[in-house]
């Protein structure tokens, strides 16, 4: 079943205004490509900034096109935080077999990502050589988020 259109967002860098603050989880979808993740390094990152009080309820990645080209022999995608880029989706090969779904970690009841300030979620592409040598690759990232108001002070 496709996600409701009002919850889709193509390549956002911040989704502050899209997450409900009533605690109700909603699915978000965004697309990453070999160009989005290109870096002069063996890892290429896409960071999504989320507001304070954000809870991650679930995540998965749907690889639509293999990440190939430029002499790359291995390629994996993962999703997590900047400090733990495999927290929600383990590093799984996207070098062959697309389309396929990369399952996420079960999060019960959910994991706070941003308790004191806005924080980043990270999608990471890891290759055996620099990611900017790739010539193809495409994946959709799905994440279920909610926020709750956090009151500062005592």
Specify the pTM: 0.82
The DSSP code for 103 is P
β-pairing, 54-68 with 100-102?
antiparallel
143: burial class by Cβ within 10 Å (0-12, 13-18, 19+)? buried
Cα 105 from chain centre: 13
Query: Which domains can be identified in the chain, with CATH numbers?
Result: 24-76+91-147 (2.60.120)
- pLDDT, tens digit, 9 for 90 and up, residues 50-76: 888 888 888 999 999 999 999 999 999
The predicted pLDDT at position 10 comes to 43
- pLDDT, tens digit, 9 for 90 and up, residues 137-152: 999 999 888 887 776 5
């Amino acid at each position: 079943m496709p996600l409701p259109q009002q919850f889709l967002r193509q390549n956002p860098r911040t989704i502050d205004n899209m997450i409900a603050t009533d605690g109700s989880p909603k699915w978000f979808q965004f697309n990453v490509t070999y160009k989005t993740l290109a870096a002069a390094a063996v890892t290429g990152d896409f960071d999504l900034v989320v507001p304070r009080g954000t809870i991650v309820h679930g995540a998965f990645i749907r690889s639509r096109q293999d990440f190939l080209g430029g002499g790359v022999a291995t390629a994996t995608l993962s999703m997590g935080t900047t400090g733990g880029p495999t927290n929600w989706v383990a590093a799984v090969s996207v070098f062959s077999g697309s389309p396929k779904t990369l399952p996420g970690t079960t999060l019960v009841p959910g994991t706070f990502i941003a308790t004191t300030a806005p924080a980043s979620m990270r999608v990471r592409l890891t290759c055996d050589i620099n990611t900017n040598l790739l010539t193809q690759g495409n994946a959709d990232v799905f994440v279920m988020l909610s926020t709750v108001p956090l009151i500062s002070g005592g």
